[in-house]
């Protein structure tokens, strides 16, 4: 069988030939790629020459190119174009890839050569950093363990890979398997015309012709909870939304969580750590669970106090309207929107007219141009994995190719919920210079054909957030693949993305790009002032729902696994202990907490957004202090030490190089208006 995954791609920019790639190509491509990588590693291991940086560390960086190429396509499609056939390949490959990785990192002969190679003198700073990261990666993977412990660790790693895949697929099943069908006109009370049109289109897609449907995509849910005046329907949708992964059937994730936590704890013990959280945080900027808890406690206290004030305000509004009920979680967004309109005269429908998707994409590109000299040029006629994709070439000030950027903006049943950045191809300058192909994935409700997509302010902020991640990948300029782009510690990786959000609400950007979708008139000064005044509105709620999830994540990885055998009961105990308001539900409940349980990127690390927010609040102050939010010298330091630097330095050194000092949490508390 001719397999496009195994061929040299002659497509423009080397983009994957999506029009030729089929699901049946992946398994045989993986067979060949894995065999090739095994042979490359075996050659490194058995090389009779004395171990050096070049013939061990650099050779390992060169190895596995085909495996990386195949995986870059597969894992991105698994998150965006999933079907049962692709999910079957995912279930097959997850444990197999984990087994392959364990075989490499637990090989004592290979590790002996790595250890000697890392001791070589006369290396450049980047080579020293790579050697340090490779050596630490082997040790944290169990290379120093006794043979029987290495075997047990390999088995744990393989089972965890299977569990992570199962968890993610279960959440996707629950999200794709449910829509709230609205039968009658009165079911649409309060909903904007564009939402109604999108709901009608979704109903046709899901087989409910002549009706309306609301999916469990966050954008759909939050819009419905905000605007629907039907409290009964809000409650129905909300209950299904927060129950993803705990529906009691085949897609129930409770046993998956319990087993995952038990295996993670066992692995940490094997590696000499008291808890999994201690193991995971040892390789982060925070370093210890206590440092994380100290930050969470400090912000939680201020956030909970503000949330209590917000509860009282919302309840007064309910009472004033004659509502004979207490504020419930499914009421919050609806009454918060009403209160915002009352206090700031801000109407969400009015605001959305000034935030069309097309204009927000242009705004994100404009900021990148002002800061980093990039321009973006849309490319037509390239192969696509979905017709909704937008593809742009990024060029520098000299007109040279920098990266290819793919925007995958609209929700669909084949796509997991949320928003993220990923790479079909990452940057490196080792051997043949490789420029990146970066993708941003969002889940905006797709409007009917010919209608513009209008964003909420939160959706526009998410677009900027993910584009900040994209720039981290596109601007990367390092030699070695393992140090490129977003390959940094989990509590530093959110700095480039969260920092980028600040430019969205700057008058310099809003006045140019926040233009009315129909009249093209700029946002009126009065509306702009109201928007700026309302920036810290509802921050008690936002802080509490986020911190609730971060506390649960941390505590689950600090206790004996017997305490989490019933994860929902444990979740409830943690929330009770911190005093979680009954009117607010944690942003991601455990059974659908994909950040933490569909892989290990954010396990014990969901706090990272808050940690990075301390950094981003302080980092943006560096621009504000100059009086110019596009200050060239500051932007150059930001480029050199953060966006382009990958993992060339440890996070503290990188931030110090940019800012000259480390930040304090006061900047975050002030930014959120919680002081």
Q: Which are the catalytic amino acids?
A: 466
Closest to 370 in 3D by CA, of 503, 497, 472 = 503
Determine contact, residues 242/565, Cβ cutoff 8 Å. Answer: no
- Helices (H) and strands (E) counted in the chain, each on its own, are 27, 7
In 10 A of CB 70, how many CB atoms? 22
**Helix, strand, coil percentages for the chain (3-state, nearest 5):** 60, 5, 35
Region for 427 from its dihedrals, namely left if φ exceeds 0, alpha if ψ lies in -120 to 50, beta otherwise: beta
DSSP run (H or E) holding 172: helix 147-176
In 10 A of CB 248, how many CB atoms? 8
Closest to 444 in 3D by CA, of 470, 425, 418 = 418
Q: Report the distance separating Cα 651 and Cα 301, nearest Å.
A: 27
Name beta bridge partners: 434.
Answer: 428
Q: Report the distance separating Cα 160 and Cα 170, nearest Å.
A: 15
Kindly report the backbone phi and psi dihedral angles of residue 176, in degrees, each rounded to the nearest multiple of 5, phi listed first.
-75, -25
Q: Report the distance separating Cα 302 and Cα 617, nearest Å.
A: 17
Q: Report the distance separating Cα 540 and Cα 625, nearest Å.
A: 27
Contacts of 520 (CB under 8 A, 6+ apart): none
Query: Please, is 13 exposed, middle or buried when counting C-beta atoms within 10 Å of its C-beta (0-12, 13-18, 19+)?
Result: middle
Closest to 334 in 3D by CA, of 418, 242, 222 = 222
Determine contact, residues 669/663, Cβ cutoff 8 Å. Answer: no
The residue with tokens 């931030």 is 655
Q: What is the three-class DSSP state of 107?
A: coil
């Amino acid at each position: 069988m001719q397999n496009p995954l195994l061929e040299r791609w002659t497509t423009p920019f080397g983009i994957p030939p999506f029009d030729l790639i089929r699901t049946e190509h992946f398994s045989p491509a993986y067979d060949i790629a894995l065999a090739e990588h095994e042979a490359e590693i075996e050659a490194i291991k058995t090389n009779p020459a004395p171990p050096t940086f070049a013939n061990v560390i650099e050779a390992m960086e060169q190895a596995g190119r085909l495996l990386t190429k195949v995986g870059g396509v597969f894992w991105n499609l698994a998150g965006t174009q999933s079907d049962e056939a692709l999910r079957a390949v995912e279930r097959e490959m997850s444990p197999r890839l984990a087994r392959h990785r364990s075989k490499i990192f637990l090989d004592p002969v290979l590790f002996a050569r790595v250890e000697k190679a890392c001791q070589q003198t006369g290396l450049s700073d980047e080579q020293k950093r790579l050697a340090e990261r490779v050596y630490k990666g082997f040790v944290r993977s169990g290379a120093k363990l006794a043979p029987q412990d290495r075997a047990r660790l390999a088995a744990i790693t393989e089972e965890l890979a299977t569990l992570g895949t199962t968890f993610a697929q279960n959440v996707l099943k629950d999200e794709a398997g449910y829509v709230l069908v609205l039968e009658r006109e009165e079911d649409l009370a309060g909903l904007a015309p564009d939402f109604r049109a999108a709901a009608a289109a979704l109903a046709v897609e899901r087989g409910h012709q002549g009706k309306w449907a609301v999916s469990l995509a966050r954008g759909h849910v939050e819009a419905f909870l905000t605007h629907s005046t039907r409290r009964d329907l809000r409650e129905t949708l909300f209950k299904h939304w927060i129950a993803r992964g705990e529906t009691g059937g085949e897609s129930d994730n409770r046993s998956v969580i319990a087993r995952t936590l038990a295996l993670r704890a066992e692995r940490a013990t094997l590696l000499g750590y008291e808890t999994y959280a201690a193991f995971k945080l040892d390789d982060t900027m925070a370093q210890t669970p206590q440092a994380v808890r100290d930050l969470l406690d400090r912000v939680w206290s201020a956030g909970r106090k503000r949330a209590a004030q917000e509860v009282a305000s919302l309840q007064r509004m309910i009472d004033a309207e004659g509502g004979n009920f207490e504020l419930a979680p499914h009421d919050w967004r609806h009454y918060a929107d009403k209160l915002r309109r009352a206090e700031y005269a801000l109407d969400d429908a009015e605001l959305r007219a000034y935030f069309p998707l097309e204009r927000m994409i242009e705004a994100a590109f404009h900021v990148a141009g002002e800061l980093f000299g990039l321009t973006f040029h849309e490319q037509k006629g390239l192969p696509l994995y979905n017709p909704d994709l937008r593809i742009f070439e990024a060029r520098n000030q000299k007109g040279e190719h920098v990266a290819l950027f793919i925007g995958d903006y609209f929700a669909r049943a084949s796509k997991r919920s949320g928003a993220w950045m990923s790479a079909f191809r990452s940057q490196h300058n080792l051997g043949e210079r490789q420029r990146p192909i970066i993708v941003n994935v969002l889940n905006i409700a797709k409007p009917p054909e010919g209608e513009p997509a209008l964003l909420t302010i939160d959706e526009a902020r998410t677009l900027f957030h993910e584009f900040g991640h994209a720039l981290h990948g596109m601007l990367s300029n390092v030699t070695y693949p393992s140090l490129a782009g977003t390959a940094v510690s989990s509590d530093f990786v959110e700095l480039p993305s969260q920092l980028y959000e600040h430019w969205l609400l700057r008058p310099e950007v809003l006045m140019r790009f926040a233009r009315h979708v129909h009249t093209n008139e700029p946002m009126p000064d009065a509306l702009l002032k109201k928007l700026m005044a309302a920036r810290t509105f509802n921050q008690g709620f936002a802080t509490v729902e986020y911190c609730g999830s971060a506390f649960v994540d941390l505590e689950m990885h600090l206790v004996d696994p017997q305490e989490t055998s019933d994860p929902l009961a444990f979740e409830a105990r943690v929330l009770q202990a911190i005093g979680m308001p009954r009117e607010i539900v944690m942003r991601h409940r455990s059974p659908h907490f994909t950040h933490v349980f569909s892989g290990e990127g954010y396990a014990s690390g969901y706090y990272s957004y808050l940690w990075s927010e301390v950094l981003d609040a302080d980092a943006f102050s560096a621009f504000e202090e100059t009086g110019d939010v596009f200050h060239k010298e500051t932007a150059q330091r930001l480029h050199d030490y953060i966006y382009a630097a990958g993992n060339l330095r440890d996070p503290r050194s990188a931030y110090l190089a940019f800012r000259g000092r480390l930040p304090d949490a006061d900047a975050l508390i002030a930014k959120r208006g919680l002081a």
